[in-house]
Structure formats: C-alpha cells, structure tokens
C-alpha cells in the first residue's frame, strides 16, 4: 500500500512522539525486489497458503520489508514482489499517530458485525498502481488473524488508515487490487494517473 495521499491530514505530526506497536525489522537483512504492477498475473489470483515456517519464509519477510521501505510504502504483500504466498508486511500509522510495524502469514479478516461497520471514504493508493490515488470507502476498523513467520498464532487490529492497510493487503493476497473495488470510471482514472506518472522505485515491466 502506498503512503497516504498528500491531501490527507490524518498523519500530520502529532504533539507527542509516535508510539510504536510491534518490532522494527532488521533492515541489514533482505534484498530489495522490484514491485509487480497491475496486469501481472501474480496480482490477479489468490495466493497459496503458507505451510512451511522455515528459513525461506523468514528470508521472504526480510526481502518484503526492505522492498517496502525502498518503495516508500506502508504495506506490501508477497505477490507484489512476485511471490505466490499469503504473507504481508506493514509499517503504517493509524489516525492517532500510532505506528504499527509487523508481518502476518495466512491472514484472514474477521467479519465485522453490522453495528460496528462504520465506513470511511478516503484516498487510497497502491505500490502496484504507482502514482494513482482514488477515494474508496472501507470500514474504519479491521482485525486480521493469522500467524507470524515462526508459526505462532497472532491477531492484529487497527483503526483508520491502518485498518485500511490491513484490508488492502489482505485483498492483495486474495487476488484483488484496490482499483478492482472502484467504479469503471474511477478505475479508468486511476489507470490514467498511473500511465501519466513515473514510478520512484523499480517495477517489473509487464510483457
């Protein structure tokens, strides 16, 4: 997921220092990978469930963190670097200025009761649709259950922009981009924005 759009104000510098939830990754590990973009088949199908919690998975998580930071994103799914696996990483603020850092393997969004379903319509962007933003309504709270890279069960919840990130990245692993949730007109506009922009990070050209 891309950083917040410049017109959003939710992450203006708070009066107090940011509180961090989660553990910052060791960025001395990992190799930066190019980002796959809309049209690449790996982005348009559901990713496979991870069954091996081993060194290969740990290396993937390391690669994903450094690739996300290199692209200046706040979330990244494995298929965005061409890997067919249900994993995403994040380093994302919520609307209260709390920074959330971590990863989750085989994530599943918890169903929200209708009484807790408050929609927030805000601009959303994606590293796989570089340079484009569009308003999209999503619930302002989300909770995801899954595992960490060692196979321990975890639950991650968030509000505001972080809730949007959790939903956005889970969508990726189910084979959906945020532009798939837009009207035909808004999707066309997002693709136009992408075509008129130059990515600030390395991408994988589509054949």
Q: How far is CA 201 from the centre of its chain?
A: 16
User: What is the DSSP code (8-state) at residue 32?
Assistant: -
Residue with tokens 């001395």: 28
> What distance in Å separates the CA atoms of residue 45 and residue 27, rounded to the nearest whole number?
29
Q: Are 101 and 24 in contact (CB under 8 A)?
A: yes
The count of other CB atoms within 10 Å of the CB of residue 153 is: 8
> What distance in Å separates the CA atoms of residue 39 and residue 46, rounded to the nearest whole number?
14
Q: What is the DSSP string of 161-191?
A: HHHHHHHHHHHHHTT--GGGGS-HHHHHHHH
Is 169 known to be catalytic? yes
The count of other CB atoms within 10 Å of the CB of residue 29 is: 13
Which residue is catalytic, options 24, 72, 157, 169? Answer: 169
Q: Which residues are the active-site residues? A: 169
């Amino acid at each position: 997921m891309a950083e917040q759009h410049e017109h959003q104000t939710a992450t203006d510098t708070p009066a107090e220092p940011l509180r961090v939830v989660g553990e910052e990754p060791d960025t001395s590990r990992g190799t930066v990978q190019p980002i796959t973009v809309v049209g690449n088949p790996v982005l348009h199908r559901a990713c496979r469930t991870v069954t091996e919690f081993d060194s290969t998975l740990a290396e993937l998580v390391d690669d994903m963190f450094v690739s996300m930071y290199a692209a200046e994103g706040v979330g990244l799914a494995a298929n965005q670097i061409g890997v067919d696996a249900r994993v995403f990483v994040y380093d994302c603020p919520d609307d209260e200025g709390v920074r959330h850092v971590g990863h989750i393997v085989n994530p599943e969004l918890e169903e929200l009761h209708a009484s807790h379903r408050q929609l927030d319509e805000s601009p959303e962007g994606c590293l796989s649709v570089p340079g484009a933003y569009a308003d999209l309504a999503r619930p302002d709270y989300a909770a995801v259950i899954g595992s960490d890279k060692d196979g321990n069960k975890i639950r991650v919840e968030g509000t505001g922009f972080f809730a949007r990130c959790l939903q956005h990245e889970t969508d990726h692993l189910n084979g959906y981009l945020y532009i798939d949730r837009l009207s035909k007109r808004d999707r066309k506009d997002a693709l136009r924005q992408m075509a008129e922009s130059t990515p600030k990070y390395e991408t994988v050209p589509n054949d």
